[in-house]
Amino acid sequence: MRTIKGPAIFLAQFMGDTPPFDTLENIAGWVAGLGYTGVQLPAWDGRCIDVEKAAESKTYADELKGKLKDKGLAITELASHLQGQLVAVHPAYDTLFDGFAPAAVQGNPKARTEWAVNQMLCCAKASRNLGLSACATFSGALLWHTMYPWPQRPAGLVETGFKELAKRWKPILNAFDEAGVDACYEIHPGEDLHDGVTWERFREETGNHPRVCMLYDPSHYVLQHLDYLANIDIYHEFIKVFHVKDAELNPTGRSGVYGGYQSWVDRPGRFRSLGDGQVDFKSIFSKMAQYDFPGWAVLEWECALKHPEQGAKEGAEFIKQHIIRTTEKAFDDFAGSGADEATNRKILGI
């Protein structure tokens, strides 16, 4: 068994315009001071990484790693959620998702998709140059607007949607395979891969591609009323990235899972800072240790109530307390009486 690495922190929600959040060097010093040992870099944020340059230049990648190492930090993964989202966008969401892309391709869905695919190819190469084995991403969505089956979905609609999604991702997955990097899809509402069933359907459509893996984030399962502990039992061999994020679901007589179009503060289901929600992290970390999870425990902070700086400070200690230092011996070794084949046969009466 391996001990989970960490604590680490996803930088996306913390980058800003003022120190210490304005540059990678500054924020690295800040998170290291809080006790973090790893950072997950948003591949779309030029303040953190030039992903195209990292894909082409091993020297640049090594320099980036070196700057963080000087702060006592390692890069856990690249996060390519915004680029992955744009691999597949239904026209109903064109306006909302255009902001994820550079101005040059906004208003041009075809060019935007081509840009997103190229970005994902760069993420594969950049991850390899950085010595990483996994990359976090979103699948995008062609079917999400039909998530609730009213009006009734026509026969074959879902099959066609997943065939097209797999067709778009297959060249990207092949590039990840060539780079030796797993594509870890965050199971997330708004994506066509939003639960285990949809992830399985996608994987099957890709021919069970070996690089189709998972990012495990229990908060999204709480909000879906999905068994997040059983999910680890089922999919542990595919879980390669772990977002440590809390959530709560408190349905009322007026609102439930769908949230009533309310703000995050007023929704029955909302994300919380670590320890403030309903997620059973003791059981999660136990299962991660049991199944020999190979990666990092990465804080993703999203909370409508608590200040992010407080959430980050408390999160480092929370993760430290939950990481299980796995044992190298059995607890009852002291009572061992020794064994050999002859003794074993005698005990069995044979």
What are 61-111's pLDDT values in tens digits? Answer: 999 999 999 999 999 999 999 999 999 999 999 999 999 999 999 999 999
pLDDT for the residue 331: 66
pLDDT the model gives residue 332: 66
Q: How many CA atoms lie within 13 A of 273 on its CB side?
A: 16
Residue corresponding to tokens 């990207």: 172
pLDDT range class, residue 343, cuts 50, 70, 90 = confident
- Reading phi first (left if > 0) and then psi (alpha if -120 to 50, else beta), residue 280 is in beta
Phi/psi class of residue 72: alpha, beta or left (left: φ > 0; alpha: ψ in -120 to 50)? Answer: left
With beta carbons less than 8 A apart as the criterion, state whether 216 and 192 touch: no
pLDDT, mean over the chain: 96
68: left (phi over 0), alpha (psi -120 to 50) or beta: alpha
Q: How many domains does the chain have?
A: 1
Residue 336 has pLDDT above 90, yes or no: no
Q: Across residues 241-262, what is the average pLDDT?
A: 98
Considering only CA atoms, which of 32, 42, 16 is closest in space to residue 186? 42
For 4, phi then psi, to 5°, come to -60, 140
Residue 181: its pLDDT value, please?
98
What pLDDT was estimated at residue 338?
A: 72
Token pair for 198: 């949809």
- CATH number for the domain including 101? 3.20.20.150
Q: What are the residues whose beta carbons fall under 8 Å from the beta carbon of 61, sequence distance 6 or more?
A: 54, 126, 129, 130
DSSP 219-258: HHHHHHT--HHHHHHHHTTTEEEEEE-EEEE---SS--TT
What pLDDT is attached to residue 334? 61
pTM: 0.95
Q: Tell me, what's the pLDDT at 335? A: 62
End-to-end CA distance of the chain: give it in Å, rounded.
34
What tens digit of pLDDT does each residue of 104-133 get?
A: 999 999 999 999 999 999 999 999 999 999
| 319-344: average pLDDT | 82
Using a pLDDT cut of 90, give the percent of the chain over it. Answer: 94
**How sure is the predictor about 12, in pLDDT bands with cuts at 50, 70 and 90?**
very high
3-state helix, strand, coil in the chain (%, to 5): 45, 15, 40
Tens digit of pLDDT for each residue in 128-182? 999 999 999 999 999 999 999 999 999 999 999 999 999 999 999 999 999 999 9
Using a 10 angstrom Cβ sphere, with 0-12 exposed, 13-18 middle and 19 or more buried, the burial of residue 313 is: middle
* Residue 175: predicted pLDDT: 98
- Domain range for 49 is 5-348
